[in-house]
Amino acid sequence: MKDVIIATKNRGKAKDFETLLAPYGIRVLTLHDVAEDLDVEETGDTFHENARLKAETVAERLGKIVIADDSGLAVDALGGRPGVYSARFSGEGATDEKNIEKLLGELKDVGDEDRTARFICVLAVAGPGLQTRYYEGTCEGRIMRTPAGENGFGYDPVFYVPNEERTMAQLTPEEKAAVSHRGEAIRRLEEDAGELFGAAD
Ligand SMILES: O=c1[nH]c(=O)c2ncn([C@@H]3O[C@H](COP(=O)(O)OP(=O)(O)OP(=O)(O)O)[C@@H](O)[C@H]3O)c2[nH]1
Ligand SMILES: [Mg+2]
């Protein structure tokens, strides 16, 4: 069993990574396991910048290779918002529920045709002696008018995936892994995984 460190405190993300990496016999460690006290300020304007900040700060602290994930929801009718601010959309003390409420409020008068959106995920891999690398994934969908489904996290209950004819939160973890932005980014990283993390046991 190999350990891979994901520089995140988001338990929903961590679960996504567990599902994605379990087939390779990889155990996921997060900041809750390796550096609970570390809070990296996400001061960047782009997913790449914030992913780099998180990956490089944690890699430097631990002296190990780490993966960071910066991700979010871009809604066309909102000019790409909430984007890099997805986690903080509803302001101080934001929760998934409050973020969804704000999103549905802003889209209240937007017709079905114009509710297109995408999830974006940028993974950064940083480590000692390594030039930081990036892997990107996206997932196209539409914003529902009411939440549906219990799985996943964040905006998953209001993100409808046309090909699956269900919301992201109505998919099983394995189904989400197959279609999500995070899944696509991990599959791109896979090509370099042997070199970065050593051959799987
Ligand atoms: O419904 C969703 N399904 C997903 O699959 C997903 N991926 C990202 N998001 C949203 O985008 C924010 C990331 O912001 P983010 O990258 O800064 O992460 P975070 O602050 O939650 O944790 P950390 O990794 O920074 O510790 C999250 O909180 C969510 O609101 C998602 N929502
Ligand atoms: Mg964050």
pLDDT digits (tens, 9 = 90+) for 168-189: 999 999 999 999 999 999 999 9
What confidence tier does 1 reach under pLDDT thresholds 50, 70, 90? confident
Q: How far apart are the CA of 201 and the centre of ligand 1, in A? A: 30
Query: What is the average per-residue pLDDT within 71-92?
Result: 98
Evaluate whether 89 touches 103 at the Cβ level (below 8 Å): yes
Under the banding of pLDDT at 50, 70 and 90, the label for residue 43 is: very high
69 in ligand 1 pocket by Cβ < 6 Å? yes
Rounded mean pLDDT, 4-23: 97
- Mark whether 70 is an active-site residue: yes
From the list 3, 37, 69, 70, the catalytic residue is 70
Q: Tell me if the pTM is above 0.95.
A: yes
Ligand nearest to the CA of 84: 1
Is 166 annotated as belonging to a binding site? no
pLDDT of residue 199: 62
* pLDDT of res. 194: 86
Instruction: For the chain, give the mean pLDDT.
Output: 96
Percent of the chain scoring above 70 in pLDDT: 99
The complex scores an ipTM of 0.98
Which CATH number fits the domain that encloses residue 45? Answer: 3.90.950.10
Overall domain count for the chain? 1
Residue-wise pLDDT tens digits, 97-124? 999 999 999 999 999 999 999 999 999 9
The closest-lying atom of ligand 1 relative to the alpha carbon of residue 47 is 16
Query: Does residue 155 have a known ligand-binding role?
Result: yes
Report whether 154 belongs to an annotated binding site: yes
Alpha helices in 63-153 (DSSP H): 96-106
Q: Whose CA is nearest to atom 9 of ligand 1?
A: 72
Query: For 144-173, what is the mean pLDDT?
Result: 98
Pocket test for ligand 1, best of 153, 166, 181 (most atoms within 8 A of CB): 153
Q: Tell me which residue has its CA closest to atom 14 in ligand 1.
A: 87
Task: List residues bridging with 121 in a β-sheet.
Answer: 71, 137
Judge contact between 186 and 137, C-beta under 8 A: yes
Domain ranges, residue 28: 2-197
Q: Where does residue 152 fall: left (phi above 0), alpha (psi -120 to 50 degrees), or beta otherwise?
A: left
